[in-house]
A = this chain, B = another copy of it.
Amino acid sequence: MSSDRLIYLPLGGAGEIGMNCYVYGYGPKDQERLILVDLGVTFPDMDGSPGVNLILPDIAWLEERKDRLEAIFITHAHEDHVGAVGHLYERLGAPVYARAFTANIARGKLEEYGLSEKVVRTVSAWPETVQAGPFSVGFLPISHSIPESAGLVIDSPAGRVVHTGDFKLDKTPLVGEPWDPDLWASVAKDGVKALICDSTNVFSPEAGRSEASIGDEIESLVDEAPGMVVATTFASNVARVKTLAEAGERAGRSICLMGRAMRRMIEAAIETGVLSDFPKVVPVEDARNIPRENLMLLVTGSQGERRAASAQLANGKYNGISLKAGDLFLFSSKTIPGNERGVIRIMNQFSEMGVDVVDDRGGRYHVSGHANRPDLVEMHKVMHPEMVIPMHGEHRHLREHAKLAESNGYASAIAVNGTMLDLGGHAPKVCGFVETGRTYLDGTVLIGALDGIVRDRIRMALNGHVLVTVIVDEDDEVLGDPWCELSGLAETGRSNAPLIDCLEEDLSQFIGRAGAKTLKDDDKLEGELRKIVRQTAQNEIGKKPEVTVVISRLVG
């Protein structure tokens, strides 16, 4: 028997929803030739990553082994699968393969970084394959909430692995290929070693519904609207955007796309031939002059993003267009957990204008793009692999999915980010752990999530900040009094005197009684001054602020 290993190693997406990044390898231990599947991002929030622009997987492990990396494959063009390609490409340097629509989006990302678009190579659907070291990889079409989503057929000398990517089982997806169980079964007919499978909706008990199931509801809603209609959805859901636009067109409305991502996605879909019959759209400048009852806007910002078109409209005006009483705003989307506050804010702003806000209303105006529990069972059955490895999910999703697979007789394992599995046997075997984590794009710089930089920002936000300045002369005597600058702290507290006065008074008193030994020793002096500030603030206002002490020593 060969001593070569077939390994699977998630660097992102396993233990979280978002930031997909999966390594496969084949070869002798620690000399495996590698391929990467997806290179996505996740989004920051005020709770854990204030001020951060974007969150990327920590690819340090892979970067150190980039000489062994044969290729990068992108399953589809969602940000959590393709979003880090521009930011991280240079650190990996391997060619990027994708289907036409995904490749179009990926090229745009590389262009932003001034990188050659040529690194992205367009691949046709299965049975075309790409040779990447010991691997042969093909793109197997599957339905999802974006065009040209694909599972990957990954063949190696140790057998066939199928990586589903994100998927749903939709036989009428409106745009892109329908779920084709015969095609997938044909891939599986000679046996599949492992099915690496999307877990997002494992807790949804009913079979998923088709994209085609909501068209009529949307059409009646738009048809009956008396004023302007504005609809938002995920810009990449080209099928939905088309359904919305067609509903508007049938109701005699001119269609206008607002928001860069919305225009970009439709453009890419048309360029790549994914979309051929999209209603005629009018530019924003013309939309302003169209009577509101004849106008329908399709806008970005379904998640309440502050700078997107929907938030701007909620704030009052966007590109010269504003909503008013009698208009309709439709969220043809679901709110991703964690985004509720932003979405609710917008809903209330529209309510204040008298705009009627309609959300998905329990599924009337939105369907999910992921396979629900019964759909997962069907996928397992169609592919009848030796093992099912749950991917793309929080820990609770992976665990539930593994339990589901095992209850149906498949070997399974929970492998979170950094867990290396050997898929070579008849059951997954943990064969290593790799340090993984998150990299923050902060402004224009990449920083480590654990570098302490963002932690310091969070601390300032929670505790406020006091700056203490002391000038010490050549003889180690303090010149004048220490003084403070406060940021983010109440001005007065318990004693009703200004907090800054209390602090400076207590610091002065300390300096007055401090010995020469303390005054000579920067660390000691700084420590003492910090302690006093924190104690006094705690007494006065009940908070212990962050403290920066600056000791300026005059040199004689």
A-to-B contact residues, CB < 8 Å: 15, 45-47, 50-51, 337-338, 340-341, 344, 347-348, 350-352, 354, 357, 394-396, 399, 442-445, 447, 453-454, 456-458, 460-465, 467, 469, 471, 479-480, 485, 487-494, 538, 540-543, 546, 548, 550, 552, 554-555
Question: If the complex has contacts A394-B344, A461-B50, A471-B471, are A542 and B485 also in contact, measured as CB distance less than 8 A?
Answer: no
Counted per complex, copies of this chain come to: 2
Nearest Cβ distance between residue A153 and chain B, in whole angstroms?
31
Q: For the complex, give the distance between the alpha carbons of A552 and B550 in Å.
A: 11
* Pairs A–B under 8 Å by Cβ, sample size 21: A15-B348, A46-B50, A51-B463, A51-B543, A337-B344, A350-B396, A352-B395, A442-B490, A443-B490, A443-B541, A444-B493, A444-B494, A445-B540, A445-B542, A453-B491, A456-B487, A456-B488, A457-B488, A469-B552, A479-B554, A485-B550
Residues of B within 8 A of A340 (CB): 337-338, 340
Nearest Cβ distance between residue A344 and chain B, in whole angstroms?
6
Residues of B within 8 A of A396 (CB): 347-348, 350-351, 357
Chain A interface mostly: mixed
Q: For the complex, give the distance between the alpha carbons of A457 and B464 in Å.
A: 6
Report whether A445 and B490 are in contact in the complex, using a CB–CB cutoff of 8 Å. Answer: yes
Q: For the complex, give the distance between the alpha carbons of A471 and B479 in Å.
A: 12
Report whether A542 and B351 are in contact in the complex, using a CB–CB cutoff of 8 Å. Answer: no
Q: A338-B340, A467-B467, A471-B471 are in contact. List 15 more A-B contacts (CB 8 A).
A: A45-B47, A50-B458, A51-B462, A347-B396, A442-B490, A443-B543, A444-B493, A444-B494, A453-B491, A456-B464, A456-B488, A457-B464, A458-B461, A467-B548, A480-B555
Nearest Cβ distance between residue A78 and chain B, in whole angstroms?
20
Report whether B46 and A443 are in contact in the complex, using a CB–CB cutoff of 8 Å. Answer: no
Nearest Cβ distance between residue A413 and chain B, in whole angstroms?
14
Contact of A461 among B51, B352, B394, B485 (CB under 8 A): B51
Question: If the complex has contacts A396-B347, A485-B550, A542-B443, are A453 and B47 also in contact, measured as CB distance less than 8 A?
Answer: no
Report whether A395 and B50 are in contact in the complex, using a CB–CB cutoff of 8 Å. Answer: no
Report whether B465 and A465 are in contact in the complex, using a CB–CB cutoff of 8 Å. Answer: yes
Report whether A445 and B351 are in contact in the complex, using a CB–CB cutoff of 8 Å. Answer: no
Report whether A488 and B453 are in contact in the complex, using a CB–CB cutoff of 8 Å. Answer: yes
Nearest Cβ distance between residue A339 and chain B, in whole angstroms?
9
Residues of B within 8 A of A15 (CB): 348
Q: What is the chain B residue whose CB lies nearest that of A448?
A: B490
Nearest Cβ distance between residue A13 and chain B, in whole angstroms?
14
Nearest Cβ distance between residue A155 and chain B, in whole angstroms?
33
Q: For the complex, give the distance between the alpha carbons of A361 and B443 in Å.
A: 41
Residues of B within 8 A of A394 (CB): 344, 347-348, 351
Q: What is the chain B residue whose CB lies nearest that of A447?
A: B490
Residues of B within 8 A of A490 (CB): 442-443, 445, 447, 453
